[in-house]
Every structure is written in structure tokens, then in C-alpha cells.
Copies of this chain bind each other. A is one copy, B any other.
Amino acid sequence: MGEIGEGTVPRVDLRRAIATRSGGFLLFAVTPPRLTTSPEEAAEIGRVTVERLRSVPIDGLVLYDIDDESARTPDERPFPFLPTMDPADYLTRHLAGLEVPAIVYRAVGKYREDRLRSWLGQQVPSRALAVFVGSSSHDGAALTSLARAHELRDEVQPGLPLGGVAISERHARRGDEHLRLIAKQRAGCSFFITQIVYDVNAAKDLISDYHHECAAQDLAPVPIVLSFSVCGSLRTLEFLRWLGVAVPRWIENELRHADDTLEASSEQACAMAVDLIAFCRRLGVPFGLNVESVSIRRVEIDAAMRLAARLGSELRR
């Protein structure tokens, strides 16, 4: 019998944990390389990513699909928008060695219906998972609406496990995000992934309202995947804010005055995750955890991986 290393800790079967609505899984999320990256560089980035993720006990990898969100806000983007590779292409071409399932985001507004249809047709429902994201702006520039994307998936690939996004900040503003989640669930979503959580109260408000509305409608709640990130600099914090993440004032103060911002943000994220794990367990709402690496700085990626390892332990407690 050899020693049991982190890589051999039994992993949760992601597809099964979603299908049975049991949750309890850990995801890690990355953004594909920039479009301007050469195929050789992209292959190297993919190889390194797969290699490094082996040491983290994750049950799935999330691949974001970045839309140019500049239509959404008149604020200047603190980081320039650089188009990234299609996450589905990146997965197929450069992440072949990945040992865990991938959840591919599709910013559906970016794609014409025929392209989305053909992508759906190519998926193997027993291997792929996807998350559809509607267009964030209402300027009519969306090539395909979220509702239409749901119909296409129903028609072309009904067995494909499909997730949706859950935004606590929208719930804080409008108070109806739980109803949106239930509508998406009725349209076929079997899990949700939140935006990065920095406001625990806002996340609890959404989870609580979702839980009680499901009970009222006699509907079983599906796993809500809570996303966390580390934040190594005030610039990253500014970027999170720009993305629409509500960062409470006191957390901003802590990060601003910390000797080690990265370490402080990691402690914050861990404390928030522990609080929300206990909350979800008490309510009986299935959940997963997701650690996003929002910066491309090596030191932040490393810290995100350490955070994922810690959250993995919390999840298995």
C-alpha cells in the first residue's frame, strides 16, 4: 500500500453529484488564454494548467467564456478587455490530459444560433457539462437569447447537464433572483454557479429565498456552487467591483491595510466559505464550492490553488 497523496483522495463524481442533487463538490475556474496567444503558447499554458491542477483535489474545472462587458457599464474597465479563446476550443485542443470533467461556459449572446446548435450537437452528454450565460446588457446586441439557448439544448442535446449563473448582487437590488433561478431550473438547469462571494449576507439572502421558494413550489433545490477568489492587490479588488461583485467596506479596509493582501483575502474567503457551508447544511440546500483565479499573476494563481485545497478539506469535514 503506497502513501495516500492529495491526488488520490477519492473525488466526488461531479455528474452524479449534480444528477442526484447531492452537491458536495469542489471546482476550480480559469479563463482561457487570450485570442492573440499562439497555438504553441496556448498548448503550453494548457499543459501547465493540467499539470498543476493535479495537485489540487478538485472534482471539476470551470472554463469561463469572456464576453466584452463594456456595454454593461459606463465605467472604465480597470483592466483592458482582451478577447480570449473560445473555452470549448481551448478544452478540445489543449486540455486533453485533464483528469476531471470540464464545465464550459457559453456566453450565448456571442454566438449565432447555428453555431450554438452545432456546438451542442458535438457534445457527448456523458462527458460534457455547460453553463449558459445570458447577455449582460440589454442593447439588443445578443445573437442568441438565454431562453432560445435553453430551447436549443432541449432540442439538440437534452442529456447535457446544464448550469446557470446565480447573482446575489442582483437579488440585493431586485429581490427576484430566486425566482429567476427557479425559472432557469424549470428550463433545464440542474445546478447554479454564483458570482464571486464577498458579501455573505447577500449570498445567504439568495440561498434562503431560493430554499423557501422551492419548498413553497414543492421543488427539490439543485446544487448552488459558491464561488470564491483570492485578491492580491487593490487593482484586483477594483476589477472585482467592476465585474459587479459587492465587496463590503470592512473587507476592502482589511485588504487595503493588510501586510499581506493575498493572505488576508484567502483568510476572508475561507471564513466566508465555512460560514456558508454551515448555512447551506443547516437549510438542507445542496451546494458546491468553486475557486476562481481572477488574476493571471502567478502568485495569485498559486494562492487560489492553496485556497482550493483548504476549501476541499472544509467540504469533506
User: What is the distance, in angstroms, from A182's C-beta to the closest C-beta of chain B?
Assistant: 16
User: What is the distance, in angstroms, from A292's C-beta to the closest C-beta of chain B?
Assistant: 21
Closest to A205 in B: B249
Closest to A172 in B: B249
User: What is the distance, in angstroms, from A2's C-beta to the closest C-beta of chain B?
Assistant: 41
Tell yes or no: A149 within 8 A of B by CB. Answer: no
- Tally of contact residues, A, Cβ under 8 A: 17
CA A212 to CA B200, docked complex, whole Å: 22
User: What is the distance, in angstroms, from A285's C-beta to the closest C-beta of chain B?
Assistant: 11
* A212 engages B248 (CB within 8 Å): no
CA A45 to CA B136, docked complex, whole Å: 60
Which residues 54-106 of A sit at the B interface, judged by CB distance below 8 A?
none
* A253 engages B212 (CB within 8 Å): yes
Max count, chain B CB within 10 A of own CB: residue among A199, A208, A211: A208
Tell yes or no: A13 within 8 A of B by CB. Answer: no
CA A290 to CA B125, docked complex, whole Å: 58
The digit string for A205-217, where 1 denotes a CB below 8 A from any CB of B, is 1011101100000
* A257 engages B201 (CB within 8 Å): no
Residues on B with C-beta less than 8 A from A212 are 253, 257
Interface secondary structure of A, over-half rule: helix
The digit string for A241-265, where 1 denotes a CB below 8 A from any CB of B, is 0000000111001100100000000
* B209 engages A248 (CB within 8 Å): no
* B199 engages A250 (CB within 8 Å): no
A249 is contacted by which of B199, B209, B248 (Cβ under 8 Å)? Answer: B209
* A201 engages B248 (CB within 8 Å): yes
Max count, chain B CB within 10 A of own CB: residue among A208, A211, A250, A253: A250
A253 is contacted by which of B175, B199, B208, B254 (Cβ under 8 Å)? Answer: B208
User: What is the distance, in angstroms, from A253's C-beta to the closest C-beta of chain B?
Assistant: 4
A250 is contacted by which of B201, B253, B257 (Cβ under 8 Å)? Answer: B201
User: What is the distance, in angstroms, from A197's C-beta to the closest C-beta of chain B?
Assistant: 12
CA A212 to CA B205, docked complex, whole Å: 29
Tell yes or no: A180 within 8 A of B by CB. Answer: no
CA A199 to CA B201, docked complex, whole Å: 8
Beyond A205-B248, A212-B257: 4 further Cβ-contacts under 8 Å?
Answer: A201-B201, A207-B250, A208-B249, A209-B249
Of the A-B pairs whose beta carbons lie under 8 Å apart in the complex, a sample of 16, sorted by A's number, is A175-B249, A199-B201, A201-B248, A201-B250, A204-B248, A204-B250, A205-B248, A205-B249, A207-B250, A208-B250, A208-B253, A209-B249, A209-B250, A209-B253, A211-B253, A212-B257
